[in-house]
Structure 1
């Protein structure tokens, strides 16, 4: 694709980093409608028409004096979308190759075209994973018509072996491009009420979009101010874009699922570090790292970090990045929720974990809610308790941002985040 970049990073505004999926099957309902059926039955022949309705667009069907919602089997449609994906093979191959699960550049994938007034929900998968991990959750959530009628589901696909700040920067670009391509918050205030749902590493990417660290993240990771490095303009720009983030005004809510807020003990193990050393990183990342080491002048303490740029190293509780990130507060205007699975039913949560992340690592103070999902391992996205909690959170989001059809005679008001975004447009 000539619009893309060689290293999978953001390119031109029309680079295709936001698109509607071409692999999903859309549930539909075929209904035979017969006018005046009682009269026709008494006649010589019957006439009618077959009406095809798509789940996300169809109104109710008028039958007599009632309006009846059409029936759909969305489970079958979702299952057909997953046939022949060779999921596990693709996910792990993409991790080691430094690409997405299907070998494409990082991008935001929408299940359906955007409906004006619908609030986006962005699902961000974890390490060595893919958007397909959300299939069961999405299938169940869409059974709730309130969610189906008022939310659009987007999925971010990225190379999970890449540095976390770099992947977060790509996510930021993809969301910005999506919002802009849909006309921005001025055209549709619902685009200023985005919810991020991040699993594991995906939660860390989400956190990077709702913090304002100034120089703290860079200074804590590199050990010295950026001004002390002699860098070329391209490297300095990439460092500023990835390590000096600001909160995205469109993001109103974040749901952390199995997120290693203070690192994963599994990432600190020797086998994890060995696996991390085997992955391929984008050329732009490795060239930036070399330029940083060269630009450090007489400092040598960064040399050992050149080969430790990947996400596996960063998620170790002992990494400078992971020791710094939790000290940076989340924007107080963003509402946050934690869903933390633990194996078994431990009496003491301080010693509980999900097989990858400990409870103490996933727990952060100040969230609007925290749900501990007992008897659940790290991949808890398909757990009924987890799905029910995400459903509750989305309905809370809807209650706090009711659309016009739920507020007769009143205009929808953008939140402070959306207003700031509109002011920049």
Structure 2
């Protein structure tokens, strides 16, 4: 239901008198030295201006709305400075005038009290690009609260907390008492002023920027490569907005040594497009990039499984049957494998006997089997690969790659299980693979090399029929072989892609506006038939 601002009493006074009254109250507030009494005048101004905006006098609407916003903003400045930092529905006393605070159609992820901040006061980091904001009626705010712990869905909120766009305005109830109304402007973009519907102000970028500035993920991601453990406590699937069972999820996977913060610019551009925001919801994945690629694929699969068990336990939502994967660098390789059927290709590159013939603890064999045998993830319908080394990267075999192998520390219970299975079945393990593990160890850098046998086998695995995939690659002038300085074009470009885009840029295509514009173009293309797989 659309929020309304009834502006009681508008029928009893003319728009001209209401607007004149609002201007007098604003003048009184500007000259009042006592903050609380000034706030009371700003409140009276907002009420009168709202009455004028809700009148039938079209000539007064623009001036009335602008004055109502100005006075509401001044009142909010007072409340944010002087009132308790945690907001709940209730009543404020402002120099003897009662102001009721009403939550109407708020984001479902906001449970209990939250902090509020003016959206315009939040700095937008340059890496995010432009601020996407809509001017309208009301004041754009950001509501923030720590991540909850009392519901299953809490695990899908970022550890930094929950930040959501909120819009506030002043109206009056049926008795003429003033109210401060707060709503979700993305779910309710219009408000009724009298008999007309007007757009609400909103700032879609500010809430994302508020979380971005609180994150330490970039530092943790680099530290993870050399053995830091903290990123392991942060890994998982995270929602940046309230779950919508009818919107297509875009699941973004970062690359080696990266974090979801690399997707700041693309995420902001998706949020900033009303067309794309109406069709898609953005989800980020955090994973430990020091581990082998096949293990990362399995971990991301588990993150998605856990997410869907919370969001759609019955498996009936449309969102579950139409999923878009976007991956950069190693994240693109993981995305490709999530859309592929391993058959026996990868297993036979490692072992010459089936899992049932191996000797080891049953749990260890089952885990290794799940790493080397996999099916396309259910519901994946599209994938977009940015600067992804699908056929490996020569850099992994050169000096810097050899150095990285010595520095990158990959240790986990899954790899311990793999080592135990290999040690117990050496006669059935590929000699080339044994030599590779003995020489180079088990890490993400090793599995991106051009000669690693399991990786070589995985190069043949393409997204299954029915999954559209597009490739975007960088090519810097003078690179030999041609490529972005990290990934050659021969590795980034895939046969069978619905489209291939080569951009004169380096490896960090997640910062390149031409690459991101191409991603948005692909997302705008007509939706494929929903898979029933």
TM-score by length of 2: 0.65
Q: 1:249 to 1:303 in 2, by over 3 A?
A: closer
- Write the deviation string for residues 265-318 of structure 1: whole angstroms up to 9, x where unpaired: 211123322322331311331342233133123865544333522110000112
1:93-104 to structure 2, matched below 5 A, reads 93-97=223-227, 99=229, 101=231, 103-104=232-233
1:338-417 to structure 2, matched below 5 A, reads 338-344=471-477, 351-374=481-504, 376-396=505-525, 399-400=527-528, 414-417=530-533
1:306 is the counterpart of 2:437: yes
Contact 2:381 2:528 in 1 (8 A): no
- Write the deviation string for residues 88-135 of structure 1: whole angstroms up to 9, x where unpaired: 43221122226464x415311111231121111111110001111111
Distance 1:400 1:67 in 2: 34
- How far the C-alpha of 1:343 sits from its partner, in A, is 2.2
Equivalent in 260, 270, 277 of residue 148 of structure 1: 277
1:223-238 to structure 2, matched below 5 A, reads 224-226=352-354, 229-238=358-367
- How far the C-alpha of 1:18 sits from its partner, in A, is 5.4
Residue of structure 1 in register with 2:405 after alignment? 276
Distance 1:372 1:66 in 2: 49
Distance 2:345 2:152 in 1: 32
Residue of structure 1 in register with 2:157 after alignment? 20
Contact 2:360 2:421 in 1 (8 A): yes
- How far the C-alpha of 1:366 sits from its partner, in A, is 0.5
Contact 1:200 1:257 in 2 (8 A): yes
How many residues are aligned here?
Answer: 376
Equivalent in 384, 387, 392 of residue 263 of structure 1: 392
Distance 2:341 2:503 in 1: 30
Contact 2:254 2:285 in 1 (8 A): yes
1:243-258 to structure 2, matched below 5 A, reads 243-258=372-387
- Write the deviation string for residues 332-376 of structure 1: whole angstroms up to 9, x where unpaired: 1111111112224x7xx98421121011110001111112122x2
Q: 1:60 to 1:208 in 2, by over 3 A?
A: same
1:30 is the counterpart of 2:161: no
Equivalent in 92, 101, 108 of residue 222 of structure 2: 92
Distance 2:213 2:245 in 1: 31
- How far the C-alpha of 1:320 sits from its partner, in A, is 1.2
Q: What secondary structure does 1:277 align onto? A: helix
Q: What secondary structure does 1:191 align onto? A: helix
TM-score by length of 1: 0.80
Distance 1:294 1:306 in 2: 15
Distance 2:428 2:498 in 1: 47
Q: 1:388 to 1:205 in 2, by over 3 A?
A: same
Distance 2:206 2:383 in 1: 30
- How far the C-alpha of 1:162 sits from its partner, in A, is 0.7
Greater gyration radius:
2
